[in-house]
Amino acid sequence: MTIREFQQFIRDKYYATDLARGTSGTFMWFVEEVGELASALAGDDDGNKAEEFADVFAWLCTLANINDVDLSEAVEKYTVRGVEGTK
């Protein structure tokens, strides 16, 4: 599945609820998931790490959807145009 396909999957399943919650509320859920990922990274459970990475990515897609950002186009910053220097 591509980034675009996954973002569309999340949009098809959750868009109405996500849009009603709005950017601020959705961002808070995203931050909570980032916190859970931080905790998982500090541990030894690789399955939990993978689960939390998936959650963070899903919430990122949600934020992108309700803010009309196509993540496949956004990552062209790295893949097409290139980034000067280091990150």
What pLDDT score was predicted for residue 50?
Answer: 98
Residue 74 located in a structural domain: no
Residue 79 located in a structural domain: no
Structural domain count, the chain? 1
- Can you tell me the mean pLDDT for 44-63? 98
- Can you tell me the mean pLDDT for 54-65? 98
pTM, whole model, 2 decimals?
0.89
Residue 4 belongs to domain spanning: 1-12+24-68
Residue 1 located in a structural domain: yes
What pLDDT score was predicted for residue 82?
Answer: 66
* Angstrom distance (rounded) from CA 15 to CA 21: 10
- Mean pLDDT is lowest, of 19-28, 29-38, 50-59, 72-81, for 72-81
Taking only the tens place, the pLDDT of each residue in 74-86 is 999 888 876 666 6
18, with CB counted inside 10 A (0-12, 13-18, 19+), is buried
